[in-house]
Amino acid sequence: MFAKALPSCFTVGNLFLGIISILLAVHDSWKYAAIMVIIGMLLDGLDGRVARMLNTQSEFGKELDSLSDVISFGVAPAIIMYVSTFKYTGPEGWLVTAIFPICGALRLARFNVHPGEPGYFIGLPITAAGGILATMALYNVYVHNVYVWMAAMLFLSFLMVSQIKYPAFKKVAIPRSMIWIAPLFLLAVAVSALKYPYELPKVIFIPLALYALYGVKKGLERKRKEENEEPVEDLK
């Protein structure tokens, strides 16, 4: 019974952190709100793997995961960005803030219907997009032009609903013993994040941003290759 409920416990934990992230952001503690999103990413990465490891996958878990992801990686990062950067921009800030979770919801709905190709996601996963957005907010002290951040947020929104392929790492195996070590690992990350609320999220931003750009680069290379290939009819 416990094994069957364990993946859902991770998912609900992710949802809980997403709600806490929103509350922290609303109270201007958006730096700690970003940390909640990061920890939520770790929980989100565990629930599916644990379900497959224990052979407890279910439609209920799949739907719960999507609903949780909309909150934790769609709404929460958008609120973080609004509070930290767009608060005084007016209606354009509201619009950009709303577009991100909407695109995230569309991305998840499409994934539930058409998961994509084996080994690949179609469109940037909302988990990665939300992680990038939440941690990106910590860099707004270096760039003071709000429209640069709006453009970046819209670009992430576009990547989620795009046809760009991103490598999936679902097949990477995790030893069964790691299930019991996972809570300790999450606790260590949480303590580190609270001790270094600026440094850790900034470090997390880098691999996530590289992942997003990798998909764009590969997509452009694939398109260029297709354009350079001559149709068979032209060779006759």
Task: Give the residue extent of every domain in the chain.
Answer: 2-169+188-224
Chain centroid to Cα 13, Å, comes to 16
> Exposure of 229 by Cβ count < 10 A (0-12 exposed, 13-18 middle, 19+ buried)?
exposed
Neighbours of 23 (CB within 10 A): 14
The b/e string for 31-43 (b: 16+ C-beta within 10 A; e otherwise) is bbbbbbbbbbbbb
Q: Strand, coil or helix: what is 49?
A: helix
Taking the chain (236 residues) in runs of 10, the rounded mean pLDDT of each run is 71 94 92 89 80 74 89 96 91 95 95 82 93 89 86 96 85 54 64 68 83 88 78 50
What does the pLDDT read at residue 6? 75
Query: Residue 86: what residue type?
Result: F
d(CA 146, CA 158): 18
> Exposure of 16 by Cβ count < 10 A (0-12 exposed, 13-18 middle, 19+ buried)?
middle
Residues 18 and 75 sit within 8 Å (Cβ to Cβ): yes
- Identify the CATH number of the domain defined by range 2-169+188-224: 1.20.120.1760
Query: Residue 195: what residue type?
Result: K
Chain centroid to Cα 45, Å, comes to 10
What does the pLDDT read at residue 236? 44
What does the pLDDT read at residue 137? 85
What does the pLDDT read at residue 7? 77
Structure-token pair, residue 221:
């290379």
Q: Strand, coil or helix: what is 197?
A: coil
**Global pTM exceeds 0.85:** no
What does the pLDDT read at residue 235? 46
Query: Residue 108: what residue type?
Result: L
What does the pLDDT read at residue 4? 67
Angle between helix axes 59-69 and 91-113 (nearest 10 degrees) is: 160
d(CA 69, CA 106): 12
What does the pLDDT read at residue 126? 95
